[in-house]
């Protein structure tokens, strides 16, 4: 009887620890999203961490690892640093590449940030007044990712 009671206590403890870990993980994600929303200009590392996880390409808690992965894949230019404020044209290219979005003929030929930006404007991902050289606020990054996910879902529903 004593071994059964100990086993029950061990199982309860494991379940409690797992539930606590899931709660802390969800709480950590909420804090991360809140921080992103309050950021006036996300860094390339912040953007890489969020976009790579949202696109399902790579989940990591470390922004530096996500940034390095994006640079290795040539999804971000090699001349940017992890802590630099992210420009809209470069983030546009990163979004197109990480979500594996197809573009028009000029984007397909050049794979340039300029034509990635124009593709996202054309597809309604980037809306309102914008400039390819502007820095991307966290709120806008979340909006762009949401629009892309909605666009992908609509294409899958129509297919």
Q: For residue range 129-139, what is the model confidence (pLDDT) as tens digits?
A: 999 999 999 99
| 127 shares a domain with 97 | yes
The verdict on 30 and 44 lying in the same domain is no
Same domain for 47 and 11?
no
Q: Do 26 and 99 belong together in one domain? A: no
At 34, the pLDDT band (50, 70, 90 cuts) reads: confident
17 and 94, same domain (yes or no): no
Reported confidence tier of residue 18, pLDDT bands at 50, 70, 90: very low
Shared domain for 31 and 53, answered yes or no, is no
Is 15 a residue whose pLDDT tops 80? no
Q: Report the domain count for the chain.
A: 2
Strand, helix or coil for residue 135 = strand
pLDDT at residue 1, as a whole number: 47
24 shares its domain with 59: no
pLDDT at 121: 97
Statement to judge: residues 60 and 6 lie in one domain: no
Co-location of 60 and 94 in the same domain: yes
Output the pLDDT for position 155.
87
Ramachandran region, residue 56 (left: φ > 0; alpha: ψ -120 to 50; beta: rest): left
Vertex 102 angle, CA 99 and 107, to 5°: 115
Q: What's the pLDDT at 127? A: 93
Q: For every residue of 53-96, which 3-state class applies, written as one string? A: HHHCCCCCCCHHHHHHHHHHCCCCCCCCCCCCECEHHHHHHHHH
Domain range for 7: 1-38
Asked whether residue 29 falls in the same domain as residue 91, the answer is: no
Between 29 and 76, name the one with better pLDDT: 76
């Amino acid at each position: 009887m004593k071994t059964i009671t100990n086993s029950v206590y061990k199982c309860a403890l494991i379940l409690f620890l797992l539930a606590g870990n899931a709660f802390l993980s969800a709480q950590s994600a909420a804090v991360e999203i809140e921080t992103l929303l309050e950021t006036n200009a996300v860094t390339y590392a912040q953007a890489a961490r969020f976009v790579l996880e949202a696109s399902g390409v790579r989940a990591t808690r470390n922004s530096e690892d996500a940034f390095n992965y994006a640079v290795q894949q040539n999804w971000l230019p090699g001349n940017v640093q992890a802590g630099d404020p992210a420009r809209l044209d470069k983030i546009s290219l990163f979004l197109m590449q990480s979500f594996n979005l197809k573009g028009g003929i000029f984007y397909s030929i050049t794979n340039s940030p300029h034509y990635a930006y124009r593709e996202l404007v054309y597809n309604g991902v980037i809306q309102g007044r914008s400039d390819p050289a502007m820095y991307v606020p966290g709120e806008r990054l979340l909006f762009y990712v949401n629009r892309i996910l909605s666009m992908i879902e609509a294409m899958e529903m129509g297919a």
